[in-house]
Structure 1
């Protein structure tokens, strides 16, 4: 296990523990990460108590048809946008009944998308009483950008659960 892998596992473990302590459930809607956030969470023993599941919503069609992101929002803001990330998180929460929805959308590369450079990412976490989104400028290879996105998503879950900054 690399130092990066160990750090990601430690963050996922903290997130699962915080979810258990808060008696809160989570589900993910992931575009550029393609299920890596859910995989990180479910790699932790005991995660089944709090992780409801995830949807790899890589296509625009799934974002609109399954997650309920209005086509008008995507037409106005694009798929790589704070608004889209928030609505993806809302949609997966609504679909699964989870307390928290987590979403990732962005550009992992190799090419820019919708005028956004490689590394532009949005992660969002929503629950009934709160909606948070974070814009990221990630650097490195496609895999490094995806891993940075996973870490940022888990940190945002912790922040929402604890009301403070996590891992910073």
Structure 2
């Protein structure tokens, strides 16, 4: 079968620029791994006439058509109804989906409005894709040698639905024999262009496994994907490729799959039985928010002080007036005292401080992007890390927090 895939995203908010069509990007990557060629991306608003036209065009040029969005309970959620009309397929209630929706309203002690039942409607004869994170199920149906798959619009529902059920449907329906195994390697402290340069020959030679780089907010990930009828062989191919990559850029590798620097930091703090406290100026609590978002943070996080003004630095953190007058708040000296004082005040094993200029204007004669991170570990010399970041105010703050986690991970890894 010559696979010609088209993704049709339904939603006026996409055309208005209110949200980014991240679903199409995600699906294109997933489908490429399955060996399914995506030829077209289409975006259409919540208008049945225009959606009918989009379906008519897609039928003529594609034999797999995947829809995202328009499965909800409101009047403008018309994807199922329009496809039903276009294919001449009746909509029927899926009993399991209906019971799941009803149970949700019972559990949340809310009254279920009649229009919510609409979410349980499916195309007659379709294969149901369970929605583990929402209400409306997805579905897949083959009509006249063309496969139609309907997925919800919210990425939090669509992504797990496709990964858990959609991929398997295509593998079974299209007769794929090969097992497809992926592994995500996460790097920090090296830019995407430098990482690609360091492994350029590996990327150029890729056939199976493949390597796909992706940069995101100061981090770089490599997605390695291997195909083989034997899962063990596929994993061995991944291991061999990872070893080659590790030999080049292994010092920047910090984790796998969906982990984060904060998650790795949490693991080390618990393993090493260390507590931490933070003194945050330019980050305004972002570091502490990253840690408290993780389960079990009370085991290692003593507390946080957001000392945005010099007055707070002096009165709450006991940063000396001489330091603030002579060196300023954006200085190595201030970062050092902030880290040491918050550790002492909270009686924690580690104190970390963040001070700098996020912008948009210079401060204390220091240019935007000037940042100092201080790390004070009990019975050790305080370390100061100076930076000169570029980018937006948000970007500078995000990178500051990530570098704080990064250096904490490195220092904790050295502790016996």
Deviation at 1:163, TM superposition (A): 2.7
Evaluate the alpha carbon distance shift between residue 3 and residue 93 of structure 1 in structure 2; reply closer, same or farther with a 3 A threshold.
same
**In the alignment, is the contact (CA less than 8 A) between 1:88 and 1:103 conserved in 2?**
yes
Distance 1:57 1:146 in 2: 15
Matches within 5 A, 1:137-148: 137-148=388-399
| 1:90 aligns to 2:340 (yes or no) | yes
SS at match of 2:260: helix
Provide Cα deviations, 1:71-117, integer angstroms capped at 9, x if missing partner. 00111111000110010011111111111001000000010011110
Dislocated runs of 4+, deviation >6 Å: 5-9
Distance 1:91 1:145 in 2: 24
SS at match of 1:54: strand
**In the alignment, is the contact (CA less than 8 A) between 1:124 and 1:156 conserved in 2?**
no
Higher strand share: 2
TM-score normalised by structure 2 residue count: 0.38
> RMSD in angstroms over aligned alpha carbons?
2.1
**In the alignment, is the contact (CA less than 8 A) between 1:9 and 1:40 conserved in 2?**
no
TM-score normalised by structure 1 residue count: 0.91
- Counterpart of 2:359 in structure 1 is 109
* Rg larger for: 2
| 1:155 aligns to 2:406 (yes or no) | yes
Deviation at 1:3, TM superposition (A): 4.4
- Counterpart of 2:277 in structure 1 is 27
SS at match of 1:134: strand
| 1:15 aligns to 2:252 (yes or no) | no
Question: Which consecutive unaligned segments of at least 5 residues does structure 2 have?
Answer: 1-155, 157-214, 221-257
Higher relative contact order structure (alpha carbons within 8 Å, sequence separation ≥ 6): 1
**In the alignment, is the contact (CA less than 8 A) between 1:125 and 1:160 conserved in 2?**
no
How many residue pairs were aligned?
A: 164
